[in-house]
Structure 1
Amino acid sequence: MAWHASPTFGFAAELMPLPRPVNRANKRGEGGNRAMPTLEITIDVSDAARLGVAAHIAATVTLPEHAPVDHPIVCFARPSSSYTRAYYTHDLPGAGAGAQAAFHAARGWIFVALDTLGCDRSPEAEALDRERLDFATLAAAAHAAEQDILARLANGVLLAGYPPVIQPTVLGLGLALGGALAIYQQARHRSYHRLGVLGFSAVHTHPLAPPGGELVTVGWYPRDAGLETGWGEGAEPLNAEALAAAERSGRGGAAWAALAWGFHYDDVPREVVERDLRHYDAIAGGTAEHGDDGPWYARRTPERAARSTLTPGVVATEAAAITVPVLAAMGERDLVPDPAGEARAYRSASSMDLFVCPRMGHVHNMAGTRALLWERLDLFGQWCAAVRAAS
């Protein structure tokens, strides 16, 4: 069965049972719903993007109630190509509750959720040529925006009355395409002290079928394949013969059943799953510009970069070059066919951690176990800050 949808989501059936850490959110009575100080900013990245037109990245900064003094953590988080930064800052519908940004801010993090360049809802973003939004451009723009925010924090000018944040541990976080971009950015720009890759495989990101289902076939495109090189929309993928054979099987409808299985675990309400799939269909078909399903849904996607997300080893060289500690985290159903094999990709990393969150689909922040994933990220962040402080 062939699958031609946007290469940013998938499904896996691997589960590595891990001991459940103590949920400090429950002990503290802070499950991520508590209001935290937030700041909306827009950063000019025109020089870094080098598109010849104005380019800006929007970010939401969620601050802890009390400014961190010892070993501060600043986390920069990017969603997949189908979502906006609100994926992290809103209490999303689903089986669980709470917003990830508030969850981490309650534990002392400064959490910065950024839109991917060209994926926000502004008229300026709509005017950007999505065929020019390749890995290099998106990473350079994100790095510039993050460095701007770090400079404001260090100089105490991000928010009036908020004290300077000196020498924080900087954590990069990305979901799906956001994870691929974080890997690329770290290798090229050395943006982070530590890296969290969510729902993305540095070996081979691929959607798997549910139990008893048929394995889907997806298009493989070279990284940054663009119109000017003959690799734009409608171009033949590298595995064109396999796709043609899959299409001849006439079982394309099964892909959508597999999609629902991979996006969300069984406890997510049906209406939430259906709404998410409608948005996915609109993004894949280029008709999402006027949707109103929720502020966490993107209206457009960086097509040039997204096109190659499911190609084997799309950022393999960059992943191998990363030297900082890495946490690869994913749901029980996700884009990562072989979670235990992810360690091979990060051969230069000083530390590599793995977490497969039970009862979770690829859309982590709509899962009933979302707080369990956030708790694991919090433990990783605190450990990273402690190790860096001791170095």
Structure 2
Amino acid sequence: MTGSLMRRLTTTVELPGEAPLSIAAEVFAPDQLTQPPVALVCLPGGGMSRRYYDLRSSDGDESFSFARQMAGRGYLVVTLDHAGIGDSDKPADSYALTPERVMQANAEATALVLEQLRSGALLPQFGPLPALRSVGVGHSMGAMFTVLQQAAHAQHAGIVVLGFSTRGLPEYVSPRVKELAAESVAAVRAEVVPLARKMFVSDYPEIKGSPTSNSIFAGASADPRGVEAIKAARAPLLPVPAFFSMIPGNIAPEAAQVSVPVFLGIGERDMVGAPQQVPAAFAGSQDLTLYIQPQAGHSHFLFASRRALYRRLDAWVRTVLAHLDEV
């Protein structure tokens, strides 16, 4: 691949007393593009920056880097930092970064970078790419945002949902939140900011490591080089979206609206509940693929089976786009 370049993309999303949010994007370019050209637009999960998609081990092994592996297969790979994370703008009040605002900023940044790619302004070596299509890729909380973005803006030809389900994480929320969610997800949404503030208290809270979290994210079968590499991708949490992703039924209405093909990638030892139950949330899509990654925890790129995941995703994207061309 030819390398990567950084861009800051200014959106129209404003918070009280703040300038419009700018989102950091990194674009990984292949030596030769797939035909038709495809951009994978990648959103990281909670507690991670965009570097989650470009994990680099100290010995130079690039197999942990999703971005470089997929660029090596001919894809343009775009990784974004959510507002408040990494090199994107960081507002003073993290609780002002509601799921709606973060999603809208991501959607506008996605539109801007795709426009620059299609016009040829961003990567002039490829010239204009009017036929460029995009596939949204999200991991964990980033997958939640990918689904929300697709439901609201229908930007992608397909979406890849890694390590996420609409069941939330009921084991981490209070009985009161579970009661509210059982009554109506809308009831929790109406109180999401004060509930998140009650749970996290501080601005931009940090995830504390524990034997339980380590076993879910990595575990004994994770490659130690990947475990070390992922430390560079760590970032604070966005408290409101993080809390929202834990609510049972969190984005069930939006998931049901998604009509494009969906690839569901779940680690065999993931944290989404029974993998076979996940596809039911995407009732609006007529093209669903469930892939259970062998012996993998929540951070899929740390495990030996990551190579099989890359191959499956490559084949899935090519098949999906070929089918669209036939319709």
TM over 0.5: yes
TM superposition shift of 1:199: 0.3
Other-structure match for 1:76: 41
Other-structure match for 2:255: 319
Other-structure match for 2:82: 116
Other-structure match for 1:329: 265
Structure 1, 261-270 or 152-161: larger mean CA deviation: 261-270
Other-structure match for 1:85: 50
Other-structure match for 1:48: 13
TM superposition shift of 1:66: 1.9
Contact 2:223/2:303 (CA < 8 Å) preserved in 1? no
Aligned with residue 194 of structure 1, among 155, 158, 164: 158
Answering whether residue 180 of structure 2 is matched by residue 180 of structure 1, we say no
TM superposition shift of 1:273: 5.3
TM superposition shift of 1:235: 5.7
Q: Write the distance in 2 (CA, Å) between the matches of 1:182 and 1:381.
A: 16
- Listed as ranges, the matches of 1:96-245 within 5 Å are 97-121=63-87, 124-125=89-90, 127-202=91-166, 204-206=167-169, 216-219=171-174, 220=177, 222-223=188-189, 225-227=191-193, 230-234=194-198
Q: Write the distance in 2 (CA, Å) between the matches of 1:71 and 1:96.
A: 25
Contact 1:48/1:140 (CA < 8 Å) preserved in 2? yes
Contact 2:58/2:225 (CA < 8 Å) preserved in 1? no
Aligned with residue 234 of structure 2, among 287, 290, 297: 297
Contact 2:58/2:229 (CA < 8 Å) preserved in 1? no
Structure (1/2) with the larger helix percentage: 2
Identical counterparts, % of pairs: 25
Aligned with residue 220 of structure 2, among 266, 274, 281: 266
Contact 2:42/2:79 (CA < 8 Å) preserved in 1? yes
RMSD across aligned positions (CA) = 2.7
Aligned with residue 375 of structure 1, among 286, 311, 314: 311
Of structures 1 and 2, the one with the larger relative CO (CA 8 A, separation 6+) is 1
Contact 1:49/1:138 (CA < 8 Å) preserved in 2? no
Answering whether residue 297 of structure 2 is matched by residue 361 of structure 1, we say yes
Q: Write the distance in 2 (CA, Å) between the matches of 1:364 and 1:182.
A: 17
The secondary structure found in structure 2 opposite 1:157 is coil
* Structure 2 gaps, min length 5: 179-187, 201-208
Q: Write the distance in 1 (CA, Å) between the matches of 2:304 and 2:77.
A: 22
Aligned length: 306
Contact 2:81/2:87 (CA < 8 Å) preserved in 1? no
The structure number with the bigger radius of gyration is 1
If the length of structure 2 is used for normalisation, what is the TM-score?
A: 0.85
TM superposition shift of 1:234: 2.2
Contact 1:205/1:311 (CA < 8 Å) preserved in 2? yes
* Structure 1 gaps, min length 5: 1-34, 208-215, 237-254, 277-292
